[in-house]
Amino acid sequence: MIRLSETEIVAATGAELLSSGARAICGEAVIDSRAAGEGTVFVAFVGEHVDGNAYLVSAACQGAAAVVASREVAPDEIAELSSLGCAVLRAAGDDCEEFLLRLARRVRDAHPEWLVVGVTGSVGKTTTKEMLAAAFGAQRRTHATRGNLNNLIGLPLTVLSAPDDAEVLVCELGMNHAGEISRMSAACRPSLACITNVGTSHIGLLGSRENIARAKAEIVSGMAPAPGGAPATLALASSGDFTPLIADGFARPAGVEVTYVGRSEADAVRCASLELDDEGRASVTLACPDGWSGSVRLPMPGRAPVDDLLLALALVWRAGLDRDAALAAIADMPATKMRLDVRRAPSGARVIDDSYNAAPASMAASLDVLASMACEGRRVAVLGEMGELGDEAARLHGYVGAYAAAKGLDLLVIVGAELADQMAEAARTMGLSEDALCRLATVDDALAVIGPVLAEGDLVLVKASRAAGLDIFVRGVLDR
């Protein structure tokens, strides 16, 4: 929550105060005027389709205590806002993104008692964040990133919406370009953090996996000692190919301790055993060097979440909390919508909805889930294109097609344009028969062709980047 005066906000952000207000600032920051309420700060972004500056008065009428413009405000509009008791500010450089980040840093600095936990990585960020939110939330008052609000706007909104009595903040940090995570880390100042892995997401923007690793490692730049003075700690997978670069090139020079997780006896949290049930859910036994061990069955399918579990438990341990209570809370986590969410269609087919996003590594992990789950009918994969892969896109789509062909599927459905052609061609090259391959151009085609033939006992994976729109296919199949 923001409990600052206009003067303090101006000092923290460099904004210009155009008009003082009579209302107390004591609420969240919002970027949608419809979400404005008593005491809130409405920040007016100029979007692709909507200019938030057109809604300053609307936000004030909703109860906003302050509005922040990103362009010149007409004198009569300032007068109207002032008559409503609302303060009017203009963001420095008309940069509302930077305004939010600076304001979040000011609020974070006002709460040195908060234990802030940061999560970044190419794949598994959201699952790890949800595990941490459950594990810490079972033992401390915890506030976590909602949904996927993990960018340069979402991260400060998370910090600024933390309730006054929060003890732990779990913040997810995503990025598209180098330099973004360092700005977010400076705003939230995590004491504990983890990097789930370094994959190929955004390789089209960053050029190489090493550049992606360096961008993820920026999280250490803003890390601070924990409340009470315990050193900042970064958890990493010991087997990661960029783990030495991150640990030795970034973490240790910044005074950040490194904790390793994995399957080695030397790891701080170790996977001692792992078995998958007929639903593909992992039963895991974990062990730590202090003699502790515990077991849990994860509520989501696949082996990939086991790596997320190891990182989450390492941070719980470093925070001095109860690991058994953490495992119990993680076991009771609800499914996350569109992320390996298994649902049954009216046809009787089970649909593994993983349509939220995709990268080559997560495509492979989801195909592994499809292959590992019990199935009395056909195993079907409906795959769409992946975004932000740049010059590597054709090659990486080919890898996914080849991997899918090797999984012994009864039917591989590939939806999309030229990159989908790359997947289909690679699948054929790997020996997938034409009878088992269905190449379709659009989601509507997929619904029309595949939807009616799904039957009792079938197991269907739906996976693509969000832009591919395969969530529409899932909804259509579930509504039949």
- Name the DSSP class of 162: -
Residue whose tokens read 């409340």: 227
Using alpha carbons, select from 206, 201, 208, 106 the residue that is nearest to residue 159: 106
Helix (H, G, I), strand (E, B) or coil at 220: helix
CA 462, CA 473: separation in Å to the nearest integer? Answer: 8
How far is CA 256 from each of CA 53, 142, 172, rounded to the nearest angstrom? 42, 23, 19
| Cβ 468 vs Cβ 419: under 8 Å | no
Helix (H, G, I), strand (E, B) or coil at 334: coil
Contact residues for 75 (Cβ-Cβ < 8 A; gap 6+): none
- Name the DSSP class of 62: T
Residue whose tokens read 């090493």: 210
At 67, list the tokens.
């509005």
Contact residues for 48 (Cβ-Cβ < 8 A; gap 6+): none
Residue ranges at the known binding site: 121-127
DSSP 421-440: HHHHHHHHHTT--GGGEEEE
How far is CA 101 from each of CA 151, 185, 241, 248, 344, rounded to the nearest angstrom? 11, 10, 32, 28, 42
What are residue 16's DSSP bridge partners?
A: 90
Residue whose tokens read 């034409």: 434
Spacing of C-alpha 329 from chain mean position: 20
Residue ranges at the known binding site for ATP: 121-127
CA 372, CA 130: separation in Å to the nearest integer? Answer: 24
Residue whose tokens read 């008009």: 19
DSSP 49-90: S-BGGGGHHHHHHTT-SEEEESS---HHHHHHHHHTT-EEEE
CA 321, CA 3: separation in Å to the nearest integer? Answer: 30
- Amino acid (one-letter) located at 104: A
At 7, list the tokens.
């003067």
Whats the size of the chain, residue-wise? 480
